[in-house]
């Protein structure tokens, strides 16, 4: 779903962030446009800290140390990083135990919980692990 009004906040999953920093990614051009749209709309870009860890590790393994470090600098400067407390981790544990057939990652669970907490849409590239959650709203760049 793409909203016609400017977004105040959005939760961004690892996929768009990785595609932004990995110039050879097939989604790179599209996510660059998406981040430009969000920047022009002055949208607050939120991501849980486990997603930042996931992005850093992926970039470290698939690109260069320099790309990974530059990405981390930008993420910490431009994004709102949401830390996960021990209590929230316990709540995530309970959440995933209640969904025995769901095969999403713990990182995916943090994206879902953050989107519900802030009542804002999610921007992802891979919807597979989010498709079970009908109450989630998604954003797709123009």
Phi, psi torsion values for 46, nearest 5 degrees: -110, 140
Answer left, alpha or beta for residue 42, where phi above 0 means left and psi between -120 and 50 means alpha.
Answer: left
Express each pLDDT in 79-118 by its tens digit: 999 999 999 999 999 999 999 999 999 999 999 999 999 9
Does 108 carry a binding-site annotation?
Answer: yes
For residue 50, what are the contacts with CB-CB under 8 A and spacing of at least 6? 84, 106, 107, 110
The total number of structural domains in the chain stands at 1
100 within some domain:
yes
Give the whole-angstrom CA distance, residue 25 versus residue 105. Answer: 22
Q: Does 13 carry a binding-site annotation?
A: yes
Q: Is 3 inside any structural domain?
A: no
pLDDT in tens, 18-29: 999 999 999 999
140: in domain:
no
Q: What is the pLDDT of residue 114?
A: 97
Please check whether residue 142 lies inside any domain of the structure: no
In a domain, 98, yes or no: yes
Q: Is residue 136 part of a domain?
A: no
Mapped onto helix, strand or coil, the DSSP state of residue 98 is: coil
- Whether residue 112 lies inside any domain: the answer is yes
The CATH number of the domain where 19 resides is what? 3.40.50.1010
17: containing domain: 9-130
Residue 75 lies in a domain: yes
b/e map of 81-103 (b: 16 or more CB within 10 Å)? ebebeeebeeebeeebeeeeeee
Rg (CA), the chain: 15
């Amino acid at each position: 779903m793409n909203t016609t009004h400017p977004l105040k906040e959005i939760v961004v999953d690892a996929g768009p962030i990785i595609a932004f920093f990995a110039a050879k990614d097939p989604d790179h051009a599209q996510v660059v446009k998406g981040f430009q749209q969000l920047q022009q709309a002055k949208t607050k870009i939120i991501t849980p800290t486990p997603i930042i860890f996931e992005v850093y590790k992926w970039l470290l393994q698939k690109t260069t140390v320099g790309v990974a470090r530059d990405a981390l600098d930008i993420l910490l400067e431009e994004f709102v990083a949401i830390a996960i407390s021990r209590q929230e981790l316990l709540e995530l544990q309970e959440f995933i135990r209640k969904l025995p057939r769901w095969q999403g990652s713990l990182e995916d669970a943090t994206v879902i919980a953050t989107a519900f907490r802030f009542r804002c849409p999610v921007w992802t590239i891979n919807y597979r692990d989010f498709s079970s959650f009908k109450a989630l709203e998604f954003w797709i760049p123009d």
